[in-house]
Amino acid sequence: MAVKGKVYLIGAGPGAADLITVRGARLLGQADVVLYDALVTPEMLALCGQAELISVGKRSGQRSVAQEAINALLVDCAFKFGTVVRLKGGDPMLFGRADEELRALEAEGIEVEVVPGITTAVAAAAATKQPLTKRGVARSVAFFTSSTGPDQPEHAALPHTDTMVQYMGGREAAATAERLLAQGRRADTPVVVVENCSRVDERIERLTLTDLARGLEAAHGPVLVMIGEALRLRAHQPALASTPLAQGA
* Catalytic residue set: 37, 58
Backbone φ and ψ for 64, nearest 5 degrees, come out as -150, 170
**Which residues have C-beta within 8 Å of that of residue 190, sequence separation ≥ 6?**
206, 207, 208, 227, 228, 229, 231, 232, 233
CB 118 within 8 A of CB 125: no
Helical segments of 149-205, H only: 173-182
Q: What angle do CA 75, 35, 32 make, to 5 degrees?
A: 80
* Other residues' Cβ atoms within 10 Å of the Cβ of residue 216: 25
Specify the DSSP class assigned to residue 13: B
CB 92 within 8 A of CB 35: no
Q: Which has the closest alpha carbon to 166: 137, 195, 140, 145?
A: 145
CB 206 within 8 A of CB 192: yes
* Spatial distance between the Cα atoms of 6 and 107, rounded to a whole number of angstroms: 14
CB 113 within 8 A of CB 21: no
